[in-house]
Structure 1
């Protein structure tokens, strides 16, 4: 495994948390240690601020992971600013971009969706685990695309970050 963000070999290379597991950074097989939070996409935006320090790692695999996550979060002002500051060597940049998904997200009308778009819900959607229903006509601004699933996007509704099926939205 490559180096760590903090002293100790069992620390997450992005946030420094313990209880890590080895994760391969595609398309190469370089292994890094990530905590369960950083290995998934369920963390809140505050957690991902750890990228502000880990993006400066000397390890190319860590730089690739930081660039990819910042790219996903680029609708957040702090992430866009960090992404603008981040410089990757050309071969590392190619590696980071090569792992990006070629998945195309489309709304209910077949219109291509992009990171940061605004969409409108076309039907009432009960939000599991949150105890409310997202109403038809609700605008969801600054969506995030789920990189490995063309049927899912993420956005904030009533202050809650939720996953939304693309078949229930239309691009504004």
Structure 2
């Protein structure tokens, strides 16, 4: 009997090998046989810090100041945030719109592709 590694995603021992890959029948996770290690399943992509880049490719972090690169209409409102507006103290959040900020006292969610680091 072969000694196959446990699944790194769900930690089940019922894995099998399919060509160059190991496969877990419980969670359907596949991983490379060469990259298999005995590390526990606690390290996952969800635990890693999220990296958000601005329109120029600079990394953004909580508390940074950014500048808008395009006029943006606020959804559900007739107002517009103008190009060149400086926004201070951003927060990185999960979801489609990565940036949570306050502009003129109004909370808005923004996409990082419309921002550049100040």
Task: Indicate the TM-score class for this superposition, using the shorter chain for normalisation.
Answer: 0.5 to 0.7
State the Cα deviation string for residues 59-82 of structure 1 (Å, max 9, x = none).
xxxxxxxxxxxxxxxxxxxxxxxx
Tell me if structure 2 keeps the 8 A contact 1:124–1:135.
Answer: yes
Which structure has more relative contact order (CA 8 Å, sep 6+)? It is 2
Mapped to 2, the partners of 1:154 and 1:128 lie a distance apart of: 15
Mapped to 2, the partners of 1:150 and 1:128 lie a distance apart of: 15
Bigger helix share: 1
Bigger strand share: 2
* TM-score normalised over the length of structure 2: 0.57
Q: How does 1:50-89 map onto structure 2 within 5 Å? A: none
Tell me if structure 2 keeps the 8 A contact 1:108–1:169.
Answer: yes
Q: Residue 54 of structure 2 corresponds to which residue in structure 1?
A: 107
Moved over 4 A (4+): 98-101
Return the index of the structure with the highest Cα Rg. 2
Structure 2: which 5+ residue stretches go unaligned? 1-41
* TM-score normalised over the length of structure 1: 0.40
Measured after TM superposition, the shift of residue 151 of structure 1 is 5.2
